[in-house]
Chain A
Amino acid sequence: MNVLYFAWVRERIGVPREEVETGARTVNDLVVELRAREERYAAAFEDLSALRVAVDQTLVDFDAPLDGAREVAFFPPMTGG
């Protein structure tokens, strides 16, 4: 699965995207796996209320399923306009 990071999430984790081998069934499960990896992931995912997530480029909640998902992106609340 392709995992993307934007803005300060990207800065904290240190890469804009990476390929992740995972059997996670939901976004929450994926977050638990990533947090357990290294301190930089734990720091980035410390407060989920400060994060948003998109699965295959559509905004979803953290309890969204990942069946068949190809791309998951984590980022802070958006500041367009």
Chain B
Amino acid sequence: MRISVQDAAFDLGREAADFAAGRADMGAIVTFTGVVRDLPGDPLEVMEIEHYPGMTEAALSDMAQQAVTRFSLGDVLVIHRFGALKPGEMIMMVATAAPHRKDAFAAAEFLMDYLKSRAPFWKREVTAQGGDWVAAKDEDEAALDRWS
């Protein structure tokens, strides 16, 4: 299990290649990558991501540990960036390894649903019009219900 909260960019190909390397008992590896999306009509200059150092790492570790237990994962990786990111840059990734694909996919979705509304990150979109904090969506909160 590896958790990384960092401002530097990461290399998706390399992370995916290194993940769960040598684990011949893991038949399925799923990766998900989140990318900074441009805004239609009001071009995004930068996405600023703030976080709560200390709590962020603890919250992500707790989520990853829950995923391991719940979906019998052989390994899990969570990388999440903070700082100022441009459209098209990768914000975060999760990778999950399980003996079978159903668990690997479900664990990745579980992690993403929890990350959205339980990991202490806050996004601010900056355009030529100024900056706006991204509001949390009700549907993201509701997405947690299916795991309870």
Partner-B contacts on A (CB < 8 A): 4, 6-8, 54, 57-59, 73, 75-81
Contact = CB atoms under 8 A, between A and B. Distances in A.
Nearest to B132: A8
B52 A81 contact: no
Contact of B52 (A4, A8, A77, A79): A4
Interface stretch (B20-28, B38-46, B112-120): B112-120
A75 B121 CA distance: 10
A79 B80 contact: no
A51 B55 CA distance: 17
A1 to B, nearest CB: 16
Interface residues of B, number: 25
Contacts of A6: 50, 52, 120, 122
A7 B124 CA distance: 8
Main secondary structure of the interface of B (DSSP, over half): mixed
Interface of B: 34, 50, 52, 54-55, 58, 80, 91-92, 112, 115-124, 133-136, 141
B55 A79 contact: no
Contacts of A79: 116-117, 121-123, 133-136
A57 B57 CA distance: 10
B133 A78 contact: no
Contact of B121 (A4, A54, A57, A80): A80
B117 A54 contact: no
A75 B120 contact: yes
A4 B80 CA distance: 21
A57 B116 contact: no
Given A79-B116, A80-B119, A81-B92, A57 B133 contact: no
A64 to B, nearest CB: 15
Given A79-B121, A81-B91, 4 more contacts: A54-B52, A57-B54, A76-B136, A81-B116
